[in-house]
Structure 1
């Protein structure tokens, strides 16, 4: 299949926000989507900003310090305004070049490498409209393009539905945690003589069924009789992550913002991951397999083999608010170890809770594994755009 110059198929659009008609200010992520702009627009003249409409492409021509990627996205929502330094273009004839097909081409890692290679400048490098117009790509018939787009979007929709299911399952687990350990409605029945732990196995909701509550002076509120205030270190052993090894493999490397790459070594297994510094300080992830935790994250190892309870506990603590520093928040082992947490009078309640939520997290794991396969299928489809091949779903 022959390659065509993109410049023959697109038109640059330059429309400024005269009269401040549009108020929605958006930025463009290097992950190829629109996001809320970080710019403080108080007192800013918005008439100088550029307007982007439906099915128009917006890209940040500056490629310096952008993670070896170019920030470009296809506008699918309402009209918005973007930085005056951004560039905007649209497809000249959508019956010849499908905008979503073109966006798929821009999503390919090969395009990012091309854009970085073609960027120019000294202190700051740019990939501008002139370079964009020189991009070459295969343009099959519009029918083929539509088929490819349909195939890709079908996979994307499956991934999105799966993500929504996982979010609901995790929300269910978090709601159950609140029901048991915040509202104190864990199942309880008076223990029988000679078997003091019976009551934690089944029964009615503790507090609303008349379970004894006592005032705790440290917390300034009532808690179940026999419970006390402990420290996070009673539940979780906190350790530092390490600089990642210089290797490639299939073991995920976790930073504060989730998986950042893959290596062939692990330094921890089956634990929670806590963002230690910066924008993702206080973020929490769980993982029940082998992983590498980087030096911008902390390992939270369960002391009681209750990884999922610990994850929900950590999520409930709003860890970012407990960090040191303002412009660069930081969490340390000392800070985390000394956070006050409520402790039940025995471990049975934690074991029973873990048994229940483990089923929910097992469902999440199965769905996440499906999404990993689907994501690889997406990547394969993108890689085959260059030769016009299709991928069976």
Structure 2
């Protein structure tokens, strides 16, 4: 049965008057507390709000966050301070409404849409406390709530385990790369069958993509081909894309089909120099440098080569407000070309484990989404 949220929560307004709390956090649109990046030198922190473990905070101003509402439950720390701009609240009786269960409700896209729809104001749109109290929440028996939370947290734990394994695999691959191809390597006296070349020579083909005209709905009204944007290239394995284009969109633009097993590097924006390993055939926008390799072994080797040299490549970006790389710059990057595939085979084995971890995260995340959707059923 749906219940009015205001009957279960109350506002909290405790200020940091004694300056005992020094950990300053903010609330992200991913619904997590995060370290604040605000410059607080010379700032009077006594007026900042204190939030303690088990309490919530949310940003009432919604017009800055796109479609997301910044709301989070503090569970990683005993206490913290946050800006006065946030509203802090808590559950009145945790035996009636589990805070973690409520946080699951806040993670639903339906809640974000509701909050944005009910935000109001002219200069800026606000989802105020009165509106928050009118949110309708299903409140089953506390045992059922805790059962749902336990199921969700089990999935979250498995996701975190896979993320840690991915980090370990990355470190292993980079250590192996440096040991084999950097440390104690004399460029003027390379082993037989080795030579210094360029990424352009190493790849079978390099190409960018394209964006069909946004004004022509026929190019976007059919999910014929995945279409990858640079923001989705985040040192990751890519199984699917956020957007798709039609057959007509492919034919009437410079977009090209890039095969599974290719390596993609973002050339523009916040993810410039980050790479992706394709596990789907896809088209891309023009800001992606797509590298089709001669074998899976070469693709894995190239991916980890880029991870090792990522910072150096990123420094080559040029431009004004937004620094960009170019396909020519990436193509000219030096790389050891080794005829003997057995020397590179270990990177392929690591990549196979890498792909499995990302795939499991994808499945677990989808299961979490399904669990959240069932809360409103």
CA distance in 1, matches of 2:359, 2:281: 15
Instruction: Kindly state the Cα deviation for residue 129 of structure 1 after the two structures are TM-superposed.
Output: 1.4
1:81 equivalent in alignment to 2:117: no
Contact map agreement 2:208 2:289 (CA 8 A) in 1: yes
Structure 1: 4+ residue segments shifted above 4 A: 222-229, 247-252
Are residues 8 and 267 of structure 1, via their aligned partners in 2, closer, same or farther at CA, if it must alter by over 3 Å?
same
Matching residue of 1:38: 37
**Deviation of the 1:169 alpha carbon:** 2.3
CA offset digits 1:335-359 (Å, max 9, x no partner): 22333x2435x422xx223322212
Deviation at 1:158, TM superposition (A): 1.6
Please give the residue correspondences for 1:148-167 in structure 2 after superposition, counting only pairs within 5 Å: 148-167=148-167
* 1:185-207 residue CA offsets vs partner (Å, 9 max, x unmatched): xxxxxxxxxxxxxxxxxxxxxx7
Q: Would the alpha carbon gap of residues 224 and 47 (structure 1) be closer, same or farther in structure 2, given more than 3 Å must change? A: farther
1:263 pairs, out of 211, 219, 244, with 244
1:307 aligned onto 2:288: no
1:175 aligns with: 175
- CA 1:174/1:145 → structure 2, altered by over 3 Å: closer, same or farther? same
Compute the displacement of 1:316 (Å). Answer: 1.6
Q: Deviations over 1:71-99 (max 9, x none)?
A: 11111122222222111111111111100
Q: Distance in 2 between matches of 1:93 and 1:102?
A: 12
Aligned partners of 2:118 and 2:131 also within 8 Å: yes
1:18 and 2:17 correspond: yes
Gaps of 5+ in 2: 213-218, 247-255
Decide whether aligned partners of structure 1 residues 275 and 40 sit closer, same or farther in structure 2, where only a CA change above 3 A counts. farther
Deviation at 1:321, TM superposition (A): 1.8
Give the alignment partner of residue 343 of structure 1, picking from 325, 336, 339: 336
TM-score after normalising by structure 2: 0.83
Q: Which residue of 277, 284, 287 maps to 2:275?
A: 284
Per-residue CA deviations over 1:136-182 (Å, capped at 9, x if unaligned) read 11111111111111111111112221222232223222221111111
Per the alignment, residue 334 of structure 1 pairs with 328
Q: Structure 1: any 5+ residue segments left out of the alignment?
A: 185-206, 208-212, 217-221, 388-393
**Which structure's residues are more often strand, by fraction?**
1
| Deviation readout 1:100-145 (Å, 9 max, x if unpaired) | 0000000001111111111111232111212111101111111111
Report the 3-state secondary structure (helix = DSSP H, G, I; strand = E; otherwise coil) of the residue aligned with 1:20: coil
Question: Bigger radius of gyration, 1 or 2?
Answer: 1
Report the counterpart of residue 367 of structure 1 in structure 2. 357
Could you tell me which of 289, 314, 318 is aligned with 1:320?
Answer: 314
Which whole-Å CA distance do the structure 1 matches of 2:343 and 2:128 have between them? 56
The aligned counterpart of 1:122 is 122
Counterpart CA distance in 2 for 1:40 and 1:146 is: 39
Greater alpha carbon shift after TM alignment, 137-146 vs 37-46: 37-46
Q: Tell me if 1:231 matches 2:198.
A: yes
How many residues get paired?
Answer: 349
- Which position in structure 1 is the counterpart of 2:253? none
Higher RCO (C-alpha 8 Å, min separation 6): 2
Residues 206-253 of structure 1 deviation map (CA, whole Å, 9 limit, x = unaligned): x7xxxxx46x5xxxxx86688655433222454333337635579473
Contact 1:170/1:361, CA 8 A, preserved across alignment: no
User: Does the CA-based 8 Å contact 1:256-1:297 persist in structure 2?
Assistant: no
Tell me, yes or no, if the aligned pair for 2:181 and 2:336 is still in contact at 8 Å. no
- What residue number does 1:29 align with? 28
Q: Which SS does the other structure have where 2:375 is aligned? A: helix
Deviations 1:262-286 (A, max 9, x none): 4366832222222222322221221
In terms of mean alpha carbon deviation, does 19-28 or 132-141 score higher? 19-28
Q: Report the equivalent of 1:253.
A: 228
